[in-house]
Amino acid sequence: MDTVKIAPGFEEIMPKEYQDLVNDGPYGRDLGVKDLGTFKELIEEHPLCAGCSLTLSFRLVIASLPTPEDTLIVTCAGCFGVIHPQISLHCTIAPFGTHNAFASGLKRALKVKFPNKNKDVISMAGDGGFSDIGLAPTLHSWFRRENFTSIMLDNECYANTGGQDSGMTPEGIALNMSPKGKQFPKIQFAEIAKQAGCAYVATVTPTKPRLLGKMARRAILIAREVGPTFIRVATACSTNYKLSAFEGYQKAKSFEPEIGEYFTEEAELYIKEIEKKSPKASSKGEEENED
Amino acid sequence: MTERKAVSPEYMILEAPREKRFLIGNEALAAAVKRANVDVVVVYPITPQSEVSHLCGDLWAAGFIKEYYRGEDELHVMVSMMGAAAAGVRTFTATSGPGTVRAMEPFTCWAGYRLPIVCGFMGRGIGTPANIQPDSIEIYYLLETGMIIFHVESPQDFFDMTLQAYAITEQPEIHLPVAVFSDGFFVTHGREVVTVTPEDEYLHPYDSRFSPVPAMDMETVPIKMARDCLVIKNNFISYNANASWQQEVRAAQYRARKHIDRFMGGPLEVINPDAEILIMASGTAAAQARVAMELAREAGLDVGMVKIKVIRPFPAQEIAQLAESARLVIVPEFNYVGWLAREIKAVVNNNAKVFSGPSVFAGMTLPPEVILAELQNLVKLSGVRR
């Protein structure tokens, strides 16, 4: 890839990680979740909590990009604000809650700048970022049918600020700003996404890595041509829910019954067509009974 | 669409022939946007800005702007501008009073991202009691956002300074947002003869390869680069990097001076610099000061005036020098706080000679006779003789 290759004479000087990316990275290659461990990933080591399933979700999404060499990530404040500077893609932290407004401007400008080349924009934020502070720009980006993917990493609380309840926290849970237990039910965000105009809506857990990868690719491909897409990744915050790393994983696993997909008719026809032509396009080796 | 010719900013601003039009300020601004070859415009309605946004919409419908939409509110409009400008295209937006303060967070981010966004501000009252009248208070809130700030006196200034804004900020070593600030209604809805460059000439497209930070488009090496990651890591090197980044924003403002001199003929317009009394003003207060100066001279006072076109980078040295030989400096303003007087007092030696006022606000006008009366009163008090 021209955009990553090392200028002549600098091969020895560039850090090992960079050389690995150039020689063995995912740019321009058809790789996915099933290939993890066989190539240099775009995400480096991170400083988040042990056993964090949100981090795992982030890693799985980044490993599933259809064209990482033309993918841009917009995030906002949150735990993964500490991860994203470590990934080898152009990415940014928008002011808290404004990620979908940033992504709207970015995607439209990229269409203007590259009329003959697709650039995928992915807006990733936490549950508070989408459902509370970022509700208006999220909904409006969907009302406007913006062509990018929104991925909510839902750990049911504000984690980075020290464990407060968000709109996505279940009713009754006592966290740092809900000392008597949260006073209203968890927001049904996937339902809202459908009503607001998303062409594809999915709920998945990081305990189904290949399925997560498949859904991420579907969401990204549909967003290119059909309309906005939304994935809620049901994860768990071990630290603020006072769980061990393994209990955190088990909690994420407990959300598996919520896994599901919704397509508009147009989105379903579109993705089926792509997957028929190239069975690997969306699946990237997705197999049944994986765990 | 007629055939259009792409030209350099140097040619358009300094050499192109001019045609006369009879325009209100919002139309003059839209005429500049049309000639600036803008890629993306995102707007949200507010009085008295709405009209220029309508006109930009018409430009988009006619193919002169490539992408345009009405956003959900000012905060998110200004963030959408960040996204668009980060991708490396030429952008424009505008807002007024309450919209400005609603969008304060992104305004504080634009400069740190090094985004050459040009934003029109149509100043009006903010807060309670609710007020839609002209007011220049919002510049006060914008002063330390890292933006370059111009304050226009007239529709002509609105046209010129908007084109000058693009020419200056798109220099490789500048790349800062530019606030082109007008006093609402007085300028936005005041009609006068404006000389404009030819309709069929427009600026060369923006080229993001000249930006000091890579565009967010995955066309450059995807180094582990997030312009805003410097706050994230808690260590000494990160603190240093963040600190020097902030200093670099201010340094870029300072470097803009040579381009301000070239494209704008400097940050000031000075009449009778050696006068005993100087009226220093910006925006439409400068227009009133012109008349007040003439009245005062007719009344036998030795009065000159300084129009401050550029508020950031503030022309501190020039103002200090001009004030040095004056015995009295008065600063009429269209706001309650008198922020321009504070700025001037901060850079002038023996600043007891700098008087804030007359200040009018809440929609009041500033008749030249009021400035003259204040002048005569101060002359009496301070013992300045002709």
pLDDT at B349: 94
| Chain A residues with CB-CB distance to B88 below 8 A | 109, 113
CA angle B339, B343, B348 (to 5 degrees): 140
What is the DSSP code (8-state) at residue B117? -
CB contact under 8 A, B217 and A90: yes
State how far the Cα of B279 lies from the Cα of B270, in Å rounded to an integer. Answer: 10
Query: What mean pLDDT do residues B20-26 have?
Result: 98
Q: Which domains does chain B have, with CATH numbers?
A: 5-209 (3.40.50.970), 268-382 (3.40.50.920)
Q: What are the structure tokens assigned to A128, written together?
A: 């508070």
Binning pLDDT at 50, 70 and 90, where does residue B86 land? very high
Q: Which residue has the higher pLDDT, B381 or B16?
A: B16
| Chain A residues with CB-CB distance to B227 below 8 A | 92
Cβ atoms of B198 and B16 closer than 8 Å: yes
> Does position B231 have pLDDT exceeding 90, yes or no?
no
Site of tokens 């769980």: A243
| Chain B residues with CB-CB distance to A90 below 8 A | 214, 216-218, 222, 225
CB pairs under 8 A between A and B: 134
Mean pLDDT by 10 residues, chain A (291 residues): 83 86 91 95 84 91 95 89 80 93 98 98 96 98 98 96 96 96 97 98 97 98 98 95 93 97 98 85 49 45
State how far the Cα of A91 lies from the Cα of A65, in Å rounded to an integer. Answer: 14
CB contact under 8 A, A136 and B76: yes
Among B39, B74, B75, B76, which would you mutate to test the A interface (most chain A Cβ atoms within 10 Å of its Cβ)? B76
Q: Find the closest chain A residue to B232 by CA distance.
A: A82
Please report the sign of the dihedral spanned by the C-alpha atoms of residue B8, residue B14, residue B19, residue B20.
positive
State how far the Cα of B343 lies from the Cα of B139, in Å rounded to an integer. Answer: 12
User: Which residue, among A150, A157, A246, A176, has the nearest Cα to A207 in the 3D structure?
Assistant: A246
What are the φ and ψ backbone dihedral angles of A186, each rounded to 5 degrees? -60, 140
What is the tens place of the pLDDT at every residue in B277-336?
A: 999 999 999 999 999 999 999 999 999 999 999 999 999 999 999 999 999 999 999 999
Q: By three-state DSSP, how is residue A124 classified?
A: strand
pLDDT at B348: 97
What is the DSSP code (8-state) at residue A242? T
What is the DSSP code (8-state) at residue A80? G
Name the strand (E) or helix (H) holding A227: none
pLDDT at B236: 66
Q: By three-state DSSP, how is residue B23 classified?
A: strand
> Does position B223 have pLDDT exceeding 80, yes or no?
no
The verdict on A79 touching B (C-beta cutoff 8 Å) is no
Distance from CA of A117 to the nearest CA of B (A): 11
Residue B146: Cβ within 10 Å count: 22
What is the tens place of the pLDDT at every residue in B194-215?
A: 999 999 999 999 999 999 988 9
Distance from CA of B212 to the nearest CA of A (A): 16
Q: What are the structure tokens assigned to A237, written together?
A: 């915050």
State how far the Cα of B185 lies from the Cα of B123, in Å rounded to an integer. Answer: 8
Q: Which residue has the higher pLDDT, B235 or B363?
A: B363
pLDDT at B260: 98
Cβ atoms of B261 and B286 closer than 8 Å: no
Phi-psi region of B364 (alpha: psi -120 to 50; beta: other; left: phi over 0): beta
pLDDT at B227: 44
Residue A140: Cβ within 10 Å count: 19
Site of tokens 């209100």: B24
What is the tens place of the pLDDT at every residue in B266-288?
A: 999 999 999 999 999 999 999 99
Cβ atoms of B24 and B15 closer than 8 Å: no
Cβ atoms of B148 and B256 closer than 8 Å: yes
The verdict on A82 touching B (C-beta cutoff 8 Å) is yes
Q: Give the torsion through C-alpha atoms of B312, B317, B322, B326, to 10 deg.
A: 110
CB contact under 8 A, A91 and B226: yes
pLDDT at A285: 45
Among A104, A121, A142, A148, which would you mutate to test the B interface (most chain B Cβ atoms within 10 Å of its Cβ)? A104
State how far the Cα of B337 lies from the Cα of B339, in Å rounded to an integer. Answer: 6
State how far the Cα of B167 lies from the Cα of B185, in Å rounded to an integer. Answer: 26
Q: Which domains does chain A have, with CATH numbers?
A: 1-25 (no CATH), 41-283 (3.40.50.970)
Among B78, B213, B216, B238, which would you mutate to test the A interface (most chain A Cβ atoms within 10 Å of its Cβ)? B216
CA angle B257, B263, B268 (to 5 degrees): 60
Rounded to the nearest integer, the mean pLDDT of chain B is: 94
User: Which residue, among A203, A162, A207, A209, has the nearest Cα to A186 in the 3D structure?
Assistant: A203
The verdict on A228 touching B (C-beta cutoff 8 Å) is no
By the 10 Å C-beta count (0-12 exposed, 13-18 middle, 19+ buried), B66 is classed as: buried
Name every residue whose Cβ is closer than 8 Å to that of residue B210 and which is 6 or more positions away in sequence: B170, B172
User: Which residue, among B339, B362, B322, has the nearest Cα to B144 in the 3D structure?
Assistant: B339
CA angle B122, B323, B250 (to 5 degrees): 55
Distance from CA of B259 to the nearest CA of A (A): 27
Give A 12-41 residues with CB within 8 A of chain B.
18
Binning pLDDT at 50, 70 and 90, where does residue B239 land? confident
Q: Find the closest chain B residue to A142 by CA distance.
A: B72
- B284-298 and B368-382 are packed helices; what angle lies between their axes, rounded to 10 degrees? 60
- DSSP conformation letters of A14-30: S-HHHHHHHHHSSTTS-
Name every residue whose Cβ is closer than 8 Å to that of residue B106 and which is 6 or more positions away in sequence: A95, A98, B75, B78, B79, B81, B82
Distance from CA of B209 to the nearest CA of A (A): 13
pLDDT at B386: 45
pLDDT at B240: 81
